[in-house]
């Protein structure tokens, strides 16, 4: 007679390790979502706050909650799988960490722990910050408007006396000067200048570090040389118009023109100074964002590394024997 020994099977004897890893991952992801909602409720997991700094409280919250979530996932996987030795259970916990990390990274399911989501939102924040500093348009100094605001007090005394003797009032002087300079500046040239400014500002949003260099180069192109909006030929034409309108001599109209040009040069200098100030603000903004991203990446790396150890350790602790 042959003895037959029947081996009793427990309900978890034939459970697949892969199924256990998936179950553990689901548990980990569920807890991540739960902790993210809690973080949003208490204000420590909001990505909108990234632009103002990745604080210690936020970093600590991410580390602790990620460790808890993945440790729970590793433990659940070990309890769900068939009895195994410590190395298999630890690898199952590590597999939960790896799968959960990939899902989080590529789906952004947890706003507080997704580095890809963090970087993407930070890039949006950078673009918004740059857009807030860089205006949609920059108005170039208008020679006709500058000429139309000229004051007789700024003119040489002899020229003032000449205008007074000729019966030219300050209001009449401004009107005639405005018209003389306006007539020599074509609308086509002004539209070309506006288009170039708009295109340059659009490029600056993508590369803010080159803002000052590109804008000053554009000003050199638009305000100087043969292709300038207002060149030497235009100036000569405006002077001839003023001479015929006001009955001035060559020397007197040149003095009047020099006064307008001085005001124009002052306006250009002010514009260049404004551009340089914008450049400084842009550099500071970009540096702050880059520092925030680097800090966030470091803390998330630490959190991920610690959670790997937690998941593997929890897998060992939860294994069935």
pLDDT digits (tens, 9 = 90+) for 176-220: 888 888 887 777 777 777 777 777 766 666 666 677 777 777 777
pLDDT tens-place string over residues 68-96: 999 999 999 998 887 778 889 899 999 99
State the Cα–Cα distance between residues 14 and 84, nearest whole angstrom: 11
The whole-model pTM stands at: 0.60
Residues 124 and 156 grouped into a single domain: no
**Tally of structural domains, the chain:** 2
Does residue 3 lie within any of the structural domains? no
Residues 232 and 146 grouped into a single domain: yes
Tell me which of 76-80, 112-116, 119-123 is least confident.
112-116
Residues 148 and 97 grouped into a single domain: no
Residues 152 and 51 grouped into a single domain: no
The H or E element containing residue 269 is helix 250-318
Residues 32 and 109 grouped into a single domain: yes
Contacts of 129 (CB under 8 A, 6+ apart): 51, 285, 289
Residues 121 and 266 grouped into a single domain: no
Using alpha carbons only, how large is the chain's radius of gyration in Å? 36
Residues 199 and 280 grouped into a single domain: yes
Residues 165 and 288 grouped into a single domain: yes
Residues 112 and 154 grouped into a single domain: no
Does residue 10 lie within any of the structural domains? no
Residues 26 and 145 grouped into a single domain: no
State the Cα–Cα distance between residues 69 and 25, nearest whole angstrom: 9
The pLDDT, as a whole number, for residue 70 is 94
Residues 46 and 142 grouped into a single domain: no
Residues 111 and 35 grouped into a single domain: yes
Backbone φ and ψ for 249, nearest 5 degrees, come out as -80, 170
Mean pLDDT of 117-137: 58
Does residue 212 lie within any of the structural domains? yes
Does residue 163 lie within any of the structural domains? yes
Does residue 176 lie within any of the structural domains? yes
The pLDDT, as a whole number, for residue 96 is 94
What range defines the domain where residue 107 resides?
A: 17-132+295-318
């Amino acid at each position: 007679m042959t003895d037959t020994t029947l081996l009793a099977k427990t309900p978890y004897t034939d459970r697949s390790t892969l199924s256990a890893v998936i179950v553990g991952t689901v548990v980990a992801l569920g807890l991540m979502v739960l902790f993210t909602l809690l973080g949003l409720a208490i204000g420590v997991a909001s990505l909108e706050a990234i632009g103002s700094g990745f604080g210690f409280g936020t970093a600590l919250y991410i580390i602790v909650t990620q460790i808890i979530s993945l440790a729970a996932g590793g433990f659940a996987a070990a309890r769900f799988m068939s009895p195994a030795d410590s190395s298999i259970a630890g690898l199952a916990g590590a597999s939960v960490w790896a799968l959960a990390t990939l899902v989080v990274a590529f789906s952004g399911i947890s706003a507080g722990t997704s580095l890809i989501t963090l970087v993407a939102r930070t890039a949006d924040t950078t673009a918004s910050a740059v857009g807030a500093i860089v205006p949609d348009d920059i108005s170039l100094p208008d020679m006709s408007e500058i000429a139309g605001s000229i004051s007789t007090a700024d003119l040489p005394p002899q020229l003032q006396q000449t205008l007074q003797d000729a019966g030219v009032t300050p209001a009449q002087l401004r009107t005639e000067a405005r018209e003389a300079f306006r007539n020599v500046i074509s609308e086509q040239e002004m539209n070309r200048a506006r288009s170039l400014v708009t295109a340059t500002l659009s490029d600056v949003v993508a590369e803010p570090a080159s803002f000052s260099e590109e804008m000053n180069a554009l000003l050199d192109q638009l305000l100087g040389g043969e292709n300038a909006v207002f060149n030497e030929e235009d100036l000569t034409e405006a002077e001839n118009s003023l001479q015929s309108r006001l009955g001035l001599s060559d020397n007197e109209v040149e003095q009047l023109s020099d006064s307008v040009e001085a005001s124009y040069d002052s306006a250009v200098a002010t514009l260049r100074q404004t551009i340089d100030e914008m450049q400084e603000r842009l550099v500071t903004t970009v540096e702050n964002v880059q520092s925030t991203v680097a800090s966030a990446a470091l803390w998330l790396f630490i959190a991920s590394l610690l959670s790997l150890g937690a998941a593997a350790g929890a897998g060992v602790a939860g294994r069935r024997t």
